[in-house]
Amino acid sequence: MNMRRFMEPYTFGNGAELRNRIMLAPMTNFSSAENGETTQAERDYYRERSRGVGAVITACANVTPGGQGFPGEIGVERDELVPSLKQLADTIKGEGAKAILQIFHGGRMAPPELLPDGQPVSASAVAPVREGAVTPRELEPEEIEEMIEAFGEATRRAIEAGFDGVEIHGANTYLIQQFFSPHSNRRTDKWGGTLEKRMAFPLAVVESVLKAAEKADDSFIVGYRISPEEMENPGITMEDTMQLVERLSSEKLDYLHISVQDFHGGSMRDKSDSRSRVQMIQDAVGERIPVVGVGSLHTPDDVDKAMEGGVPLIAIGRELVAEPYWVEKVAEGREDEIRTELSVDDREELVVPEPLWNAIVNTPGWFRVKEHAEK
């Protein structure tokens, strides 16, 4: 056995045990049915990638019908979806990995054509900075309370479906982040204005989820994903984020997942600040809450290097799409056999659903794709 540090087991404070410290990062796969049910192709994809990792964080699942952010998204917004969710949880757990359902609401980033009324909603009626963006409708105070409750209800369904945990998606410019951001939140009531008030919605969602999680076993995992900064002005700064992570670290959360493109990358707002955002958060709160690092960590050596600063858990995504047996090959001393690029002919061998495969081969630069495998 190759005992790199990330191959060691990990036990959360609540007693949940992972067989190793590698998690499948949450990646949209566009492969659920139109009604939000998981599909066989989607479950097969997860089964293949659940055999080696310690935990699987699923693609995001929308907590209300108006929160869908992608076509083919997992649904968790109504009770009829619990049997389908259970099939997914059982698939992942059947291979020995912990199954964590990522719960989210797209907010102003939700495509109108996917929404029942065609109208995205957000903290304020401020459009995202992108070409052709639709201006969202500002949520009414009672709708905000309903949204908070929806995250709790989604957690209840995840528990009923047999998931080992949920990850609150407070990152990547979606609704929870929109409430924290001074760009998308221009409210003057208790949900916006000062930094403290912009934290109110994220913290209320955490409270709702943790309350729902009390009905589960003590080892039920609740994580929170965060993006450290935004490009926009006004936008989230690292100073804002450090205050939020201080607050989050005092909640009964089991981990904090830092969403960045590059684990070692510096500030997107200040090019002169090259410090790793992940490491800064680890240094600030890592002794109080486990930090999950992610971002362009392709090889076992990359993961080892990222963990040198004390980050205890690492999520990898594209690497496990290209090489479903990444962890097993490390364990068996076959690191030189880890696949690092795809050919357009590899879909069936890699057990990737067609909608995700089409996105991979048609998105330049996302994956290393060669035209055809060598004969």
By annotation, the residues acting in catalysis are: 174
CB 221 within 8 A of CB 16: yes
- The span from the CA of 314 to the CA of 320, in Å, is 12
CB 99 within 8 A of CB 169: no
Task: Return all residues near 131 (Cβ < 8 A) that are at least 6 apart.
Answer: none
- Among candidate residues 155, 296, 261, the one with its CA nearest the CA of residue 214: 155
Helices 141-160, 82-93: crossing angle, 10 deg rounding: 50
Helix (H) or strand (E) holding 148: helix 141-160
Q: What angle do CA 146, 35, 83 make, to 5 degrees?
A: 85
Q: Could you tell me whether strands 221-226 and 255-258 are parallel, antiparallel, or unpaired per DSSP bridges?
A: parallel
Encoded amino acid at 280, one letter = M
- The span from the CA of 248 to the CA of 256, in Å, is 8
First to last CA, the chain: 33
Q: Could you tell me whether strands 17-18 and 10-11 are parallel, antiparallel, or unpaired per DSSP bridges?
A: antiparallel
- The span from the CA of 313 to the CA of 349, in Å, is 28
- Among candidate residues 349, 369, 352, the one with its CA nearest the CA of residue 361: 369
Task: Return all residues near 35 (Cβ < 8 A) that are at least 6 apart.
Answer: 75
CB 329 within 8 A of CB 323: yes
- The span from the CA of 21 to the CA of 10, in Å, is 6
